[in-house]
Amino acid sequence: MKAYMYDNLPGDQRLAHDSGRVVDVDALKKIGVLYYRLPELESLNKLAEERGYKNRDEIVVSPEKMGDVYESKVKMFFDEHLHEDEEIRYIRGGQGYFDVRSQEDDWVRIQLEKDDMIILPAGIYHRFTTDESNYVHAMRLFKEEPKWTPLNRSSDLDGNEHRQAYVSQYLT
């Protein structure tokens, strides 16, 4: 895992966009983002049990697997959004970037690779993209039935109970 401030320069979202300003694991924790390195599935299973993750599935994001919809899906994943549940991703192969909003509302880019796991709290604004390899294989974990409902950022979301809970816990 490597985390840093996003450079905000124009160009393909799949490029590194590394500003050179490093963000450490403690800074990620301050905004509610948890990171784990789990090289054995046994460790993942233990953490899943401890945190109450009952369900999981796997997704491969690549042109070969997704065909003609790949480019539109990657663009959709990159729209800034939040979820009303935690977002838990364990990378089984390839690489990708999760961008999350800092306390100052700037983008922090988190590069994940095989055996990296990230937990984003409900209510945090974020987005995802593959890197230039156009391939990531991820396991998605869920506390309840699998669902993935993105709520795109808008002023209407300011009153969302999950957004308000996130703001009061991490941004005040």
In 31-114, alpha helices (H): 41-51, 63-66, 70-77
Least confident of 64-78, 113-127, 139-153: 139-153
> What pLDDT does residue 148 have?
75
Least confident of 17-21, 112-116, 145-149: 145-149
CA distance 45 to 106: 33
pLDDT, average across residues 10-38: 98
Taking CA atoms, 32 is separated from 25, 28, 35, 79, in Å, by 10, 6, 10, 20
Specify binding-site residues: 81, 83, 87, 126
pLDDT at 15 over 90: yes
3-state secondary structure of 86: coil
Specify binding-site residues for Ni(2+): 81, 83, 87, 126
> What pLDDT does residue 50 have?
97
> What pLDDT does residue 135 have?
98
Specify binding-site residues for Fe(2+): 81, 83, 87, 126
pLDDT band at 55 (very low <50, low <70, confident <90, very high): very high
Global pTM? 0.96
Residues 6+ apart with CB under 8 A from 147: 85
> What pLDDT does residue 87 have?
94
